[in-house]
Amino acid sequence: MAFILICLCLGICITVNATASPKLEYTIVIDAGHGGRDGGAIGSSGVTESELNLKYAKELKSLCEDFGIGVVMTRSDMNGLYDESAPNKKKSEMERRKNIINTSNADLMISIHMNSFPLPSSSGAYVFYANGSDEGYSLAKSVQTSLCQSFDNAREYVSVGDYFVLNYSSIPSVLVECGFLSNPQEEANLKSDEYCQKFCYSLLVGILSYFEMK
């Protein structure tokens, strides 16, 4: 089986099956967390998690499509996914996300989030998967390994996450906490276009590596 080395940018290189490059017959769901009234975590600069989630989701979408991977977005703007008339907007939003994911016919789902913690020194990217999901674990490990190769403070382990979008997804799914908005330096990094591009390239590498294992 022939393989080629692809240098994406910023010093990140991957090896993929030459017969699968450059077009891969896969589709993924990219879920930008929060939106609308729910801004999520807020950094000291006033930047909201929801806007950064969308920024990273759009960057990852562009990179995946450049590599021939189809993308379904749960949201493509700053609006919430909930029904404005719903008495419980959070439940309405989660049900909408679940429906988009489970009717997408996609091969995997990656949910993008930003973290926050009272201790300002907390930093680093985390990757979560659903309890009992072997494929979710494999995807999480692939993504986390790629992040660790690019970012010194990325956590070396993956964790089970009790999140709705993971527990009710019918496809292999992970939730990525890209970093901590409560850490001033990491907040500045997360807002940077260059950092966003590098981070999303790392996510792409993890996704491609997961597909190579299948």
Length of the chain: 214
Q: pLDDT at residue 21 above 80?
A: no
Per-residue pLDDT averaged across 114-124, rounded?
A: 97
Q: Name the pLDDT band for 214 (thresholds 50, 70, 90).
A: confident
Q: What is the pLDDT of residue 25?
A: 87
Q: What is the pLDDT of residue 24?
A: 58
Angle, alpha carbons 205-201-25 (nearest 5°): 55
Strands, DSSP E only, in 49-140? 70-73, 108-115, 126-129
- What mean pLDDT, rounded, does the chain reach? 91
For residue 34, how far is the Cα from the chain centroid? 13
Give 164-185 pLDDT, tens digit per residue: 999 999 999 999 999 999 999 9
- Give the tokens for residue 68: 């021939």
Q: pLDDT at residue 12 above 70?
A: no
CA distance 153 to 57: 21
Q: What is the pLDDT of residue 23?
A: 46
CA distances from 104 to 71, 72, 204 (A): 9, 7, 19
Q: What is the pLDDT of residue 5?
A: 45
Q: pLDDT at residue 8 above 50?
A: no
Those residues whose C-beta lies under 8 Å from the C-beta of residue 99, and which sit 6 or more positions away, are none
Per-residue pLDDT averaged across 112-116, rounded?
A: 98
CA distance 58 to 51: 11
The DSSP letter of residue 19 is: G
SS3 102: helix
Q: pLDDT at residue 2 above 60?
A: no
Q: pLDDT at residue 160 above 80?
A: yes
For the chain, the farthest-separated pair of C-alpha atoms sits apart, in whole angstroms, at 56
- pTM of the model as a whole: 0.90
CATH architecture of the domain covering 24-213: 3-Layer(aba) Sandwich (3.40)
CB atoms within 10 A of CB 68: 13
Angle, alpha carbons 141-142-144 (nearest 5°): 65
Give 76-113 pLDDT, tens digit per residue: 999 999 999 999 999 999 999 999 999 999 999 999 99
